[in-house]
């Protein structure tokens, strides 16, 4: 029987297997439905870089000497000196994906193993899939997210592409409109502006609900909200207060890197002395109310949020930069009667990332990146992954397999007298 079965092979579950690989008395097996590891392939632009340092790899922030660190990957590939001379702490996305593949090849990851059912039977989780079955004492759910398209853009068929599949689509429309901002939307607009800079390139429109095309707030003290210190504070708040606080923090994870904004502005500036190019428009503070396909193209009914004015926007193709939501987990249906949820239908998640279950279940179910509502803006951040996984391993083993960092922020997030650090 497996000690910990991790469902889904993204960076977080892969990091769990990596940390467990050097622990003698706990085994972690990862099941992945896909035949190979792919990390955001539809947005794998050649020049795209991570928004976090290489230190936010699978293991380093709790085990810097681990044999599956990013630096060990570079040494194994004989690229340590080129990376050093490059003097950039942020790897490219392609390099990071290659690192993940390198780590996965050294770990018990079973690809092409889609899980179809999980049951609690005889004091263990009985897991079955297409042609396989296994038993586990504990589960970790790391199935990730899936593209979200709002109802206002539903029904556009092949006139709509989500940013997650942008590079898989031959974008040859004369008029392209990106709806939604954030880093993904900005990178698509950047690509479209480069195409627009040549005669015959598409007309480009960019519409977003946010009041401005805002930069990610990655200033140092704000970045402390991704530390374990802030996670502990956020988790201690009442659920309704967590939701209110998180709504105010959109610039931390739904905005645009300053470097991308500078590139966008530079391309817009260079268009000034070109002639005969298709038009470009950027409109923040605009909500798409509805959409339909007509003889003249895609017709979007939009509302200007400052003035309340409604207008019609016509385009040929819509790129939805509308984010993601938690991926569906139909295989958990047999467990559903045993799972505790909050008033909004979300998992009740403890500080150690375990889901509240019926007392009859002696095994534990943990979540990876399905705890934004309970653990705050750090939940999807790669920099918290190693700490989350160390916390899970400590909980499973009942001992401190990995010491957790205690001094993680200069900011005191609690009221005087309530400090936990």
Say how far apart CA 64 and CA 83 lie, in whole Å.
17
Q: What percent of the chain has pLDDT over 70?
A: 99
Q: Are 15 and 382 in contact (CB under 8 A)?
A: no
CA 347 to chain centre: 18
CA–CA gap between residue 290 and residue 179 (Å, rounded)? 12
Give the pLDDT band of residue 420 (cuts 50, 70, 90): low
Q: What is the pLDDT of residues 352-380, one digit of tens each?
A: 999 999 999 999 999 998 999 999 999 99
Q: Pairing relation of β-strands 132-141 and 2-7?
A: parallel
**Burial status of residue 232 (CB atoms within 10 A of its CB: 0-12, 13-18, 19 or more):** middle
- Entry pTM: 0.93
* Strand bridging mode 28-31 / 109-110: parallel
**What's the token pair of residue 36?**
């190979």
Residue 308 confidence (pLDDT):
93
Per-residue pLDDT of 65-75, as tens digits, reads 999 999 999 99
Residue with tokens 């950039």: 88
Write b or e for each residue in 379-411: b if 16 or more Cβ atoms lie within 10 A of its Cβ, otherwise e. bbbbbbbbbbbbbbbbbbbeeebbeeeeebbee
Q: How far apart are CA 291 and CA 100, in angstroms?
A: 39
Question: In angstroms, rounded to a whole number, what is the distance separating the alpha carbons of residues 411 and 226?
Answer: 12
> CA 123 → CA 77, 119, 210, 237, 361, distances in Å?
44, 10, 49, 33, 7
What average pLDDT does this structure show over 154-176? Answer: 93
CA distance 162 to 169: 10
3-class secondary structure, 171 = coil
Distance separating alpha carbons of residues 251 and 215, to the nearest angstrom: 7
- Distance between CA 83 and CA 73 in Å, rounded? 11
Provide the β-strand partners of residue 304.
286
State pLDDT tens for residues 190-247. Answer: 999 999 998 889 999 999 999 999 898 888 999 999 999 999 999 999 999 999 999 8
Maximum alpha-carbon separation in the chain: 73
Give CA–CA dist 156/362, Å, rounded: 47
Residue with tokens 């070109």: 274
- Beta strands (DSSP E) in 208-347 are 280-283, 286-294, 297-304, 310-315, 317-320, 324-326
For the record, the structure tokens of 94 come out as 């392609």
Of the candidates 136, 144, 28, 133, the residue with the CA atom closest to the CA atom of residue 364: 136
Task: Tell me which residue has tokens 């139909």.
Answer: 330
Paired strand residues for 339: 357
| Listed range (37-51, 68-82, 171-185, 268-282) with the worst mean pLDDT | 37-51
- List, for residues 147-164, the tens digit of each pLDDT value: 999 999 999 999 999 999
Q: CA 288, CA 152: separation in Å to the nearest integer? A: 6
Looking at every residue in the chain, the average pLDDT score rounds to 94
DSSP string across 53-86: -TTSSSSTTT-TT-TTSHHHHHHHTT-HHHHHHH
Q: How confident is the model at residue 48 (pLDDT cuts 50, 70, 90)?
A: confident
- pLDDT score at 324: 92
| Segment 84-88 mean pLDDT | 93
User: Any idea what the Cα angle at residue 373 is, between residues 369 and 376, rounded to 5°?
Assistant: 75
């Amino acid at each position: 029987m497996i000690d910990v079965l991790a469902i889904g092979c993204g960076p977080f579950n892969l990091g769990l297997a990596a940390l467990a690989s050097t622990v003698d008395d706990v085994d972690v097996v990862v099941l992945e439905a896909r035949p190979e590891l792919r990390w955001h392939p539809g947005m794998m632009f050649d020049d795209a870089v991570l928004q976090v340092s290489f230190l936010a790899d699978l293991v380093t922030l709790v085990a810097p000497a681990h044999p599956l660190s990013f630096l060990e990957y570079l040494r194994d590939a004989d690229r340590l000196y080129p990376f050093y001379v490059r003097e950039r702490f942020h790897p490219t996305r392609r390099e990071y994906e290659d690192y993940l593949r390198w780590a996965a090849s050294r770990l018990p990851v079973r690809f092409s193993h889609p899980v179809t059912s999980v049951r609690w039977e005889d004091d263990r989780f009985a897991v079955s899939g297409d042609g396989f079955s296994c038993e586990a004492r504990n589960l970790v759910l790391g199935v990730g997210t899936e593209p979200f398209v709002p109802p206002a853009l539903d029904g556009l068929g092949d006139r709509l592409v989500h940013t997650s599949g942008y590079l898989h689509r031959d974008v040859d429309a004369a008029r392209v409109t990106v709806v939604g901002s954030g880093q993904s939307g900005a990178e698509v607009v950047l690509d479209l502006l480069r195409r627009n800079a040549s005669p015959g390139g598409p007309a480009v429109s960019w519409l977003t609900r946010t009041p401005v095309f805002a930069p990610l707030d990655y200033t140092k003290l704000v970045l402390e909200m991704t530390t374990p210190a802030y996670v502990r504070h956020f988790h201690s708040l009442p659920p309704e207060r967590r939701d209110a606080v998180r709504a105010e923090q959109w610039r931390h994870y739904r905005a645009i890197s300053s470097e991308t904004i500078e590139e966008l502005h530079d391309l817009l500036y260079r268009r000034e002395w070109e002639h005969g190019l298709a038009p470009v428009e950027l409109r923040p503070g605009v909500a798409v109310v509805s959409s339909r396909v007509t003889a003249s193209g895609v017709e979007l009914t939009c509302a200007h949020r400052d003035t309340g004015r409604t207008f019609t926007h016509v385009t040929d193709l819509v790129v939805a930069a509308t984010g993601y939501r938690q991926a569906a987990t139909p295989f958990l249906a047999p467990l559903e009667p045993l799972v505790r949820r909050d008033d909004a239908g979300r998992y009740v998640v403890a500080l150690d990332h375990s889901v509240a279950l019926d007392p009859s279940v002696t095994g534990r179910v943990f979540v990876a990146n399905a705890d934004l509502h309970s653990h705050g803006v750090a939940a999807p951040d790669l920099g918290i992954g190693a700490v989350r996984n160390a916390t899970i391993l400590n909980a499973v083993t009942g001992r401190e397999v990995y010491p957790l960092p205690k001094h993680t922020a200069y900011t005191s997030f609690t009221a005087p007298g309530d400090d936990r650090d």
